[in-house]
Chains A and B, each alone.
Chain A
Amino acid sequence: MALLEVKDLEVCFGLRSGAVKALREINFSLERGERLGIVGESGAGKSVLGFSILNLISRPGYISKGAVNFEGQNLADLKPHQLREIRGNRISMIFQDPMMTLNPVLTIGQQMVECLLAHRKMRESDARKIALQKLQQVQIPSPETRLDQYPHELSGGMRQRIVIAIGLLLDPDVIIADEPTTALDVTIQAEIMDLMLNLCEQNNVALILITHDLGVVSEVTQNMMVMYAGRVIERGPTKEIINDPQHPYTQGLMNALPQMAQAGQKLNQIKGAMPPLQRIPTGCAFNPRCEYVMEICRHNLPDSTVSGNCRVACHMVAEMKREQAMGDEV
């Protein structure tokens, strides 16, 4: 049994203009210690997916279909207090902007200790000791003094280290890191990313890494998913997708990367922009921007087809597969 399994998940936002689907037909699973990358342009639904795993989407959002099974148990079926036992304890989250994640009026120590006390029966002094230990693990200089400081007294990098320490505080099984370094100074991004990856590896924590950075995904994850307009359009082993992207959107993302391009080749941004949720085109959501667009793409939503170890939601890929299969038969 997979540690975490997301099945046919659908998330809606009840807006004044009617309900819009922010996520649909999301399927994936995560094993213990696995690293899964989620990429996609801004607005693809990556954060919504991260939050809905913990059942943390705030109104007007709600899970309208599907299940998030953690150790075989659907989180949507749990009572609030059971859900709370999982949040921060078994599955924890690291947010994008460390400047906003920590409560400005509580000390670092308070914010760490409360998390321990919420999940374990222990004395406050013992909780402080564990907090201190974790601060040492994330390599914060003079951790004792940090415990009594307020967030505004610390730099962005330092705060993200603390957020990571909080994420690891209870030795969770899964960490969902939503663009954990995007808001940081470029010079320390790699350092913080390395720190987080190392700590996850040491503690055998599974990691869901949400990012814009295909480079990082290709380096550190075993599996990846590419999202577009609330759907997963391609998922599979990272190596295979990076070496041989099949969905035109994934190819487009890859071509826009300086590291991926061959010398002398021009960098190509995908033209156009991701549609807002209210105006997702019929058929394949990517069709207005796709250079291989066919008539069927404008009318029918492509199912996800198996292609090697990957699953791709694209009519063109499906057609190629069909032709291949027919060729094999002949």
Chain B
Amino acid sequence: MIAFFIKRFFQAVVVMFVISLISFSIQDNLGDPLRELVGQAVSEEERQALRDEMGLNDPFLVQYVRFAKNALQGDLGESYFFKEPALEVILNKFPATLELVIGATFIIVLFSVPLGVYSAIKPQSVFSKAVMGFSIVGISIPVFLTAIGLIYLFSIELGWMPSYGRGETVEILGFWESGFFTQDGLEHLILPCFTLASIMLPLFIRLIRAEMMEVLQSEYVKFAWAKGISPRRIYFLHALKNTMLPVITVGGVQIGTMVAYTILTETVFQWPGMGFLFLEAVNRVDTPLIVAYLIVVGAIFVVTNTLVDLIYGLVNPTVKLAGR
């Protein structure tokens, strides 16, 4: 267990180093921050002086080392636009994004497991075929179209659901603005969560179905039938537990990826999260904010992957967490 964490820690360090290097080096190509920082009226000499002062004229390596040193102390620079520490600005928006991802994950698990399992057990039934057909269509519809469709139907035509913002939130644990605890907050979550889930849901249904069908062909499932135990136990214990092993691995990575997909969803729904913030930051060439976003997202990837490996190890008795 300890060996697992040590190994994971070093992997994380390497990954974070690479991410920081990449995100830091692209900032040169994003445009001139000075234009945003100061107005048109400032002369070229003054701009040069300001650049020198900010260290923008130093060699790349010097700049990176300075950046890394600060980053290690949690200082990712100050947002040009907000004039606040970039990391703080990002982390303020983190709860909104995380709740979106949690909601979407919940929806995915809630629907993909029963649908995938059912269509694996009864592949010939009309319902299974409908699910499969629907999932093909689902995969090919772009997110913004789903979002617009949902908004049109449920907000504009039916008027059941709000179409933008987070609604009413409450502060929990002293720092977390949560929409999970008010009815208004939950109502605001529904459409964005379904939109975000719509990308992954068809994939998950198909993945679970394919894995389950393979497991159902296995010798141990055949043996379980020969033992005369109930179909329910065979499907939901013998088969499902084995089905979920690869699904956890693939699924975990996908959920990490979902953080990136929040950019689109948050933009359409005006969701005040990290993704929305990131898009604004790009428009404003707010380099420190962009870099901070990339690093935070990288960290989320590392954390989710570690969690996935942990869960996988718990479910799969043949894996010892000591590392391979």
Binding site for B on A (CB under 8 A): 51, 54, 56, 58, 80, 84-89, 92-93, 95, 97, 100-107, 114-115, 118-119, 150, 152, 163, 166
Contacts and interface: CB of A to CB of B under 8 A. Distances in A.
B237 interface: yes
Contact of A87 (B226, B241, B245): B226
B226 A93 contact: yes
B85 to A, nearest CB: 47
A118 B242 contact: no
B232 to A, nearest CB: 11
B11 interface: no
Main secondary structure of the interface of B (DSSP, over half): helix
Given A84-B230, A103-B242, A105-B241, A56 B317 contact: no
Interface of B: 217-231, 233, 237-238, 241-242, 245, 315-318
Contacts, number: 78
Contact of B318 (A84, A88, A104): A104
B128 to A, nearest CB: 14
Given A106-B241, A150-B318, A84 B228 contact: yes
B219 A115 contact: no
Contacts of A58: 217, 222
A329 B173 CA distance: 105
B315 A88 contact: no
A115 B315 CA distance: 22
23 contacts: A51-B222, A84-B229, A85-B228, A87-B226, A87-B227, A88-B227, A93-B223, A93-B226, A95-B219, A95-B223, A95-B226, A100-B220, A101-B219, A102-B220, A103-B220, A103-B223, A103-B238, A104-B317, A105-B317, A114-B229, A114-B233, A118-B227, A118-B228
Contact of A106 (B222, B226, B230, B238): B238
Interface hub of A58, A103, A119 (most chain B Cβ within 10 A): A103
Given A152-B317, A152-B318, A102 B223 contact: yes
A51 B259 CA distance: 49
Contacts of A106: 237-238, 241
A58 B241 CA distance: 21
A107 B242 CA distance: 13
A13 to B, nearest CB: 14
Nearest to A85: B228
B228 A104 contact: no
A102 B227 CA distance: 11
Contacts of B230: 84, 118
Contact of A119 (B219, B223, B228): B228
Contacts of B229: 84, 88, 114-115, 118
A166 B220 CA distance: 13
Nearest to B237: A106
Nearest to A54: B226
Contacts of A84: 228-230
